Amino acid sequence: MSTELNITYDKSVSALLRERISAGDFPSAVYLVAARGEVMMADALGDAVREPEHHPASLDTIYDLASLTKPLVTGLLTALFVERNELRLDAAVSYYFSEFSPTAQSTISIGQLLTHTSGLPAWRPLYIITGGERERTLSVIAEQPLEYAPGTRVLYSDLGFSTLGLIIEKITGASLAEVARREIFEPLALSRTLFNPPPEMQREVAASESAGNAYEREMCADDDDLRQAMISREWRAHPIWGEVHDGNAHFLGGAAGHAGLFSTAQEVCSIARQFLAGSTELLVPRTCALFRTNMTEGLNEARSFGWQLAATQDSTAGPALAPDSFGHLGFTGTSCWIDSARERIFVLLTNRTHAHSLPFVNINGVRRSFHTLASAALNRINSAGEK
């Protein structure tokens, strides 16, 4: 059933994205910008699917959000459980999992997982180094040598958020997908936000990659330690469309702490509103201060509770957003940034990994320009309203 918004688009923003689609940066783009609880502009451009079929993008199109899963599900759930005193930011991961106790990871805290200061590596192909055994995931993560001592440097880590997702599953006794459905999707009446879209929804989903996960295959092939092990690996060779793009999330059943969430621009905005004190329905308003607070002062990147801050040098927020704005990216080409002081939400969803040979285009410049143009459009609307 259609949920299309009757909202106008901004000519400058749509022109930017149409130009980048023509240039081959991505086949489709859907954006939505809200201010003070009201959607101000939105548009859908290009093709959600080019191969093996053709489907144009719409405001209803469901995208693989990739790492937006981290703040929108794992971070939000963690905040809920902190409020309920079921989790403590200073608690050690080893308190929940004995696998971390005898290792250098024994001092890693929940807060360090949230701020990417755990020292855990950015990524490892769990589907290979576990020997394909899901039950070994936790012990394999705990065995990984730390890149830095915990708390000394920001190093963005999928493994850290995968661990956080496993902690949520342990304290709730339920799968991450079930907890997210119960605590987030159902209370917010989200009908197009889910893990593992069913086959009948495939044509409503933007495609990710055209011939399996070539990007991760190439990463593994470039690693001397993995090259031999990957020979016997049965890689996905079919178009990744309607199933999670991320290899580790796929291996873990489609729902993991670091990736796996699918949603539309409108429903991403609904979740984003939960991080604003003036509009949250799920959190105690004072909790929302955590998302704009720099928890990594003096380190190489400004990080808050599950988000990156715009104060980070070269962040994709661009110059138009306040320094304490917070945001996150997804590898498939998605992003969400929130300017809490002005109660503005910027959602940009693309599928840059689809119908494009390697290497994929770095679209960070597009993201900055999007925020700049959309902010200027909001300012014009405000000025017109004051006259």
DSSP code string of 96-108:
H-GGGTTSGGGG-
Cα 222 versus chain centre, distance: 26
**What's the rounded mean pLDDT across residues 61-88?**
98
Is the model's pLDDT at 231 over the cut of 60?
yes
When the pLDDT of each residue in the chain is averaged and rounded to a whole number, the result is 95
How many C-beta neighbours within 10 Å does residue 39 have? 19
**What's the rounded mean pLDDT across residues 32-53?**
96
For residue 1, the model assigns a pLDDT of: 32
Phi first, then psi: give them for residue 324, nearest 5 degrees.
-95, 10
- Secondary element (H or E) of residue 350: strand 344-350
Residue among 368, 370, 366, 317 at smallest CA distance from 25: 366
For residues 248, 253, 254, 258, the Cα torsion angle rounded to the nearest 10 degrees is -50
Is the model's pLDDT at 269 over the cut of 90?
yes
**What's the rounded mean pLDDT across residues 177-193?**
98
Is the model's pLDDT at 371 over the cut of 50?
yes
Phi first, then psi: give them for residue 312, nearest 5 degrees.
-60, 130
Residue among 7, 42, 64, 73 at smallest CA distance from 201: 64
Q: What is the pTM of this model?
A: 0.96
| CA distance linking residue 47 with residue 60, whole number of Å | 13
Residue 223 binned pLDDT confidence (cut-offs 50, 70, 90): confident
Residue 230 binned pLDDT confidence (cut-offs 50, 70, 90): confident
| CA distance linking residue 357 with residue 325, whole number of Å | 33
Residue among 267, 229, 285, 270 at smallest CA distance from 83: 285
For residue 240, the model assigns a pLDDT of: 96
Residue among 154, 95, 129, 83 at smallest CA distance from 315: 154
Contact 72, 262 (CB under 8 A): no
Q: How do residues 103-140 score in pLDDT, each as one tens digit?
A: 778 999 999 999 999 999 999 999 999 999 999 999 99
Pairing of strands 261-263, 38-49: unpaired
Structure-token pair, residue 81: 């459980």
Residue among 175, 112, 178 at smallest CA distance from 146: 112
Query: What is the three-class DSSP state of 326?
Result: strand
Q: Kindly give the residue spans of alpha helices, DSSP state H, lying in the chain.
A: 11-23, 69, 76-83, 93-96, 110-114, 126-129, 137-143, 158-172, 176-180, 214-221, 224-227, 247-251, 265-272, 364-386
For residue 2, the model assigns a pLDDT of: 43
**What's the rounded mean pLDDT across residues 17-40?**
97
Phi first, then psi: give them for residue 173, nearest 5 degrees.
70, 20
Residue 235 binned pLDDT confidence (cut-offs 50, 70, 90): confident
Cα 148 versus chain centre, distance: 24
**What's the rounded mean pLDDT across residues 185-199?**
98
For residue 185, the model assigns a pLDDT of: 98
For 238-257, the three-class secondary structure string (H helix, E strand, C coil) is CCECCCCCCHHHHHCCCCCC
**Range with top average pLDDT, 103-117, 227-241, 261-275:** 261-275
Is the model's pLDDT at 156 over the cut of 80?
yes
| CA distance linking residue 206 with residue 349, whole number of Å | 10
